[in-house]
Chains A and B, each alone.
Chain A
Amino acid sequence: KQEVTQIPAALSVPEGENLVLNCSFTDSAIYNLQWFRQDPGKGLTSLLLIQSSQREQTSGRLNASLDKSSGRSTLYIAASQPGDSATYLCAAYSGYSTLTFGKGTMLLVSP
């Protein structure tokens, strides 16, 4: 059974810092891996989708990497802003195309 772990559970940084969110998964036989953002009480916003054949994806200030052999993915956020404050969820696609999510990293960026 796939398990996804995210570290740290919470992170507080001042505006402008670069930061890294970590995600690990137990079963390396994944298909794609996806990072989401979730604002309090809201649904999921997809940030980046990394296909199994890829090593990384970039969108604006966000960069996500995937290392299937070690069972790890990282989300790098450059020059953080208060508007980046949210919970970031990592999810791995396994068999039957179902997603297994981590519990998320709650990020607070202070002005």
Chain B
Amino acid sequence: DTGVSQDPRHKITKRGQNVTFRCDPISEHNRLYWYRQTLGQGPEFLTYFQNEAQLEKSRLLSDRFSAERPKGSFSTLEIQRTEQGDSAMYLCASSPPGQPYEQYFGPGTRLTVT
């Protein structure tokens, strides 16, 4: 059984550049979530999708952030004009139909903005 996968695992970028992360959920999981974790903190919710619809966005998700889930399969999270404060671990999770309160997490993408 393949788990949640994320790509890339690590990304180093210069301030001002755009970056895009990908998340592939567990097959047939209809809900997909993005969280961000900064050093020494617990993960914080960013946004989630049910199928292809983006249903909730946190106030943490500034205008520089955009997430998509075309066709309700994989999802991408793009950060435009990166800032040093964007350096964090970006975690993706998915949950199966009828079980939204049981999320399975991927390995995360660690972003470093220099």
Contact = CB atoms under 8 A, between A and B. Distances in A.
Interface of A: 4, 31-32, 34, 36, 41-46, 49, 51, 89, 91, 93, 96-104
Contact of A97 (B35, B48, B108): B48
A28 B10 CA distance: 37
Contacts of A98: 33, 45, 48, 56
Across the A-B interface, give the 9 residue pairs with the lowest CB-CB distance, nearest first: A101-B42, A97-B100, A43-B107, A32-B101, A43-B108, A93-B101, A44-B105, A31-B101, A98-B45
A43 B105 contact: yes
B1 interface: no
Contacts of A44: 43, 91, 105, 108
B48 A43 contact: no
B95 A97 contact: yes
B103 A99 contact: yes
A36 B45 CA distance: 16
Contacts of B56: 96, 98
Contact of A96 (B41, B55, B104): B55
- Chain B contact residues: helix, strand, loop or mixed: strand
Interface centre among A34, A91, A98 (most CB of B within 10 A): A98
Given A46-B105, A98-B48, A99-B45, 7 more contacts: A31-B101, A44-B91, A49-B102, A96-B48, A98-B45, A103-B40, A103-B41
Nearest to B47: A98
B107 A32 contact: no
Contacts of B25: none
Contact of A43 (B42, B102, B106): B106
A4 B41 CA distance: 12
Interface in B7-31: 31
B91 to A, nearest CB: 6
Contact of B44 (A36, A41, A49, A101): A101
